[in-house]
Structure 1
Amino acid sequence: MSDRLAGIARRIETVRQLGAVVNAIRGIAAQRAQQARALLPAIRSYAETAGRAIGQAQLLARDPSGATLRPGWPDKGGLILFGAEQGFAGAFPEQLIDAIEPDMASHHVLLIGSRVASIATERGLRADWTASLPSKADGLPGLAAAIVDALYDYLGDAGPVPIAMAYPVWTPGHGTGIVRVSLLPLDLPAFPPARSGIPPLTNLPPAQLIGDLTAEYVFARICEAAAEAFAAENEARMRTMAAARTHIASQREALALEERLTRQDEITAEVVELAAGARIRAIS
């Protein structure tokens, strides 16, 4: 085999190995996305249960005039930002920073995802608290608990300020979009009391009961955002790897064609050389 053919063979083997790596990454991403999707129904049911309980508890927290007791909230606050943990996830980490960058300087930012944190640092943006997305979906509740602890530490210092969340959501056929929602203060009218209008029996003061239920609801919503971000990152990685696999297949076809043409050229050259040698011997 000539040096040129040997070089092409090495390139074909390199591309084949790269294809195997891409397929492995795509398979892992698909498994992780599926795991996160499987968690979302239970997380949403948990949040809905906490929300219904808050609605029922409001029957205990009304003044004689019938107005719901609600705290005042100054016009400042925090932002929980979920992004990507690793690379090969498309452009959505940059899109997320683009969407939130104008607000980062004026908010207390809790930033989740090493990749998006790196992009923020490159742009000179500051995050007050950072954390990594777990490598497996079963680590999401632990992450949510850590975020809640950091959030309450901030609220303990800043007082009752509004909190918002921004996170990516993957939609089939549309790709990744950035969702921004208000987390605190709760919009209590959005949690209507039970139709019966009968206050629940409880041994807790109404304010404490609503506060405890709010903590459960906030934890559930943060879990949901973390699961959505985890799924979106892996769905985006699957799409990126699918595009890479298509490109690799094209490279392999091009190299296979180049190998066949090179082999044909070498065979032709050998035939011409043999024919020339035979002619010289015939003349002599």
Structure 2
Amino acid sequence: MSQSRRLRQHIAQMEDIRGILNSMKNLAFIETHKLLRFQSVQNQAVKAIEDAAMDFLSFHPYLLDTDVKAPHIVILIGSERGFCGDFNDSLINEIAPAAYSEDIILIGSRLANRWSDVYPEPVATLEGANVAEEVPAIVNRLLGAITSLQETRGFFELSAVYHDNTLSRPTHQPLLPPFQQTVQERPRFAFPPLLNLDPADFFADMVEHYLFAVLHKLCYTSLMAENHRRLQHLDGAVLHLDNETAKLHRKFQMRRQEEITEEIEVILLNAENL
């Protein structure tokens, strides 16, 4: 096989790969626009619960028992798919200093694959979401894991580490105990809210609803950041392929010109011999 033919086959392979990467980039772009709607609705739901909690806790505050050292569990929200750069490695590097002293829940197969054996084994490992529609199922499984840990360990502090599109490094957010930053010194209203439940029962139900809503919010936010990283990563890959393909085209043209020149020389030599 001539070198020009091999170059032509290589160019065709590069163009096929570029088409696949470009399709993946388009899917990530579509997913980010879809996630914007999910994220907006979920942010409003979390904000409504936090406002209700602020009004409730202004008249029914609760105090943490600071004398009891509660264990700490961290939810690490990674990716289920690849092509997103250092998305998972940066999460592991962020939590590495505390990985030996805190229990970890991993979300995302790619993140679990990157988890080193030198760290303690996670207390739970869950699959992550590929698309926005899979987030509710992921949250239900995560809540099931949290409930199982509460039944065996009792009270513990819970936080999440995840990627936010607006920040360059992973974000830490405390989840349990909840509403640590919502209580104001002065209540917004002069009269306490009217409750149909005992305050303790109402607070317990509100924490359950809050945890359900905020975990959805964090998963949507993480999936948005993941697809944004994927867009950047695939953009770079497509640009690199375009540059390499352009070099191969130039090399192919030069080699083809050399082969044509060689063929002409052979024809002229044969003509002279005749």
The alignment's TM-score, normalised by the length of structure 2, stands at 0.91
Q: Distance in 2 between matches of 1:122 and 1:261?
A: 51
Aligned mates of 2:233, 2:56 — CA distance in 1: 47
2:225 maps to 1:232: yes
Task: Pick one of 249, 254, 261 that aligns with 2:247.
Answer: 254
Q: Is the 8 A contact 2:162 2:218 kept in 1?
A: yes
Identity of aligned pairs, percent?
22
Shift of 1:59: 4.8
In structure 1, how many angstroms separate the alpha carbons of the residues matched to 2:152 and 2:55? Answer: 30
Between 187-196 and 30-39, report the one with greater CA deviation: 187-196
Give the letter aligned to residue 122 of structure 2.
Answer: A
Corresponding residue for residue 20 of structure 2: 21
Equivalent AA in structure 2 for residue 16 of structure 1: E
1:274 to 264, 267, 272: 267
Q: Which moved more, 1:210-219 or 1:269-278?
A: 269-278
Say which is worse superposed, 8-17 or 196-205, in terms of deviation: 196-205
Matched, 1:69 2:62: yes
Could you tell me which residue of structure 2 aligns to residue 218 of structure 1? 211
For these two proteins, the number of residue pairs brought into alignment is 271
Matches within 5 A, 1:109-124: 109-121=104-116, 123-124=118-119
Partners of 1:17 and 1:187 in 2: CA distance: 52
Give the corresponding residue for 2:174: 182
Matched, 1:54 2:46: no
Deviates more, 1:139-148 or 1:200-209: 139-148
Q: Could you tell me how far 1:123 is from its partner in structure 2?
A: 4.8
- In structure 1, C-alpha distance between the alignment counterparts of 2:209 and 2:272, rounded to whole Å: 93
8 A contact 2:79–2:111 mirrored in 1:
yes
Residue 209 (structure 1) shift: 0.6
Structure 1: gaps spanning 5 or more residues: 62-67
User: How far off its partner does 1:160 sit?
Assistant: 2.2
2:5 corresponding residue in structure 1: 6
Question: TM-score, normalization: structure 1?
Answer: 0.88
Q: Distance in 1 between matches of 2:146 and 2:24?
A: 34
TM superposition shift of 1:100: 0.4
2:249 partner letter:
A
Tell me which moved more, 10-19 or 198-207: 198-207
Matched with 1:137 is: 132
Question: Contact (CA 8 Å) 1:5, 1:263: kept in 2 or not?
Answer: yes
One-letter amino acid of the structure 1 residue matched with residue 182 of structure 2: A
Q: Which residue of 2 aligns with 1:207?
A: 200
